[in-house]
Amino acid sequence: MSILKMSFTGRRSLALTATAVAVALAATGCGGDSGSSAPTLPGNTGLGGDGVIAQSVYDAAPVATDADIPAGSAMDAIRKRGYLNIGGSLDAPLLAQQNPVSGTIEGFDADMAKLLAKYIIGKPEVKTTTIGTQTREAMLQAKSVDAVFQTYTITPQRATQVAFAGPYLTSGLAVGVRKDETSIKSVKDLAGKTVIVGANTPAVTALPSAAPGSKQIAFGTDPQALQALLQKRGDAYVQDFTLLASGAKANPGMKVVGEPFTTEAYGIGLNREDTQFKEFVNNWLKKIQADGTWAKVWEGTLGSVVEGGAPTPPALGSADGS
């Protein structure tokens, strides 16, 4: 446990001044989240928005009936506890990043966790434990957390140790361009263009077939590549979608266009022995996909830096290991 940082949001934290909260967070690396304890959230303002979803999304989100939660189940234990205990991150822009002023955790993964908590408990109460990629399986096997929301790639090998609900999000290589670029809408428009890539990344081998005739210019780090794009040393930057979205959030001069053109499926990590909980979480995913909640979360977070509407959510069970 020494390598982990526990975090939990109490409503009292909002009474502190912004400076005091920021100092406290910097000193302890702790914080937490609860959708219901956040200040009034602005709505999605579209491309260039604030990266948070509207409070109305939480208010309208579904809640499981008593019949959906059998006595003695994991869901019953969570409901009685009063919060969902998850493994996640605090430093992933647009996915799960802690707001230094409010103390809330914002982003696609964080909001999905809050909505699952709302479904089980009736309110979006979440306790987040920051967790390393090497410890996720052990934490789930030990039931130290109820679930992992952390862009957790579904693989058959990992599925021998944990269960994956979903996939709930797909990523893969995507295209970033400068904000004023209008001629490039997807990877299909990169033929004949100068494309920035990260050295030794999957883009190096994927681009020749995805964009025949494109010319590559490679940089050693993601910040170097982003700087090169903004300096017009290339027409576009091809990188993993989540990295591009984070880059666009930090650099208003760029945006992401089109959908990923390779596929990496993310699942919600669960204890492998609890098939009942996996079925319950998958049923919840079906509900929020069908009623439009999933799309609203995407538009308010990752979609705030992506040109175009929300993509079609991935089909449940479509990834090997899910």
What are the pLDDT digits (tens) for 194-234? 999 998 888 999 999 999 999 999 998 888 999 999 999 99
pLDDT digits (tens, 9 = 90+) for 179-193: 999 999 999 999 999
Which of the two residues, 166 and 242, has the higher pLDDT score? 166
Q: How many CB atoms lie within 10 A of CB 279?
A: 12
Residue 236 has pLDDT above 90, yes or no: yes
Determine the pLDDT at residue 16.
Answer: 29
Determine the pLDDT at residue 200.
Answer: 82
Determine the pLDDT at residue 9.
Answer: 36
Q: Longest C-alpha distance within the chain, in Å?
A: 61
Look-up: residue for tokens 């009685």?
80
Residue 30 has pLDDT above 80, yes or no: no
Residue 279 has pLDDT above 60, yes or no: yes
Residue 40 has pLDDT above 50, yes or no: no
Q: Can you tell me the mean pLDDT for 259-263?
A: 91
Of 144, 174, 210, residue with least CA distance to 302: 174
Of 255, 252, 236, residue with least CA distance to 244: 255
Q: How far is CA 302 from CA 92, 169, 309, in A?
A: 11, 11, 11
Determine the pLDDT at residue 50.
Answer: 64
Look-up: residue for tokens 């991935």?
314
Residue 250 has pLDDT above 50, yes or no: yes
CA atoms within 13 A on the CB side of 254: 27
Buried b (16+ CB within 10 A) or exposed e, 266-278: bbbbbbbebeebb
* Distance between CA atoms of residues 259 and 23, nearest Å: 38
* Distance between CA atoms of residues 316 and 162, nearest Å: 17
Of 151, 154, 171, residue with least CA distance to 259: 171
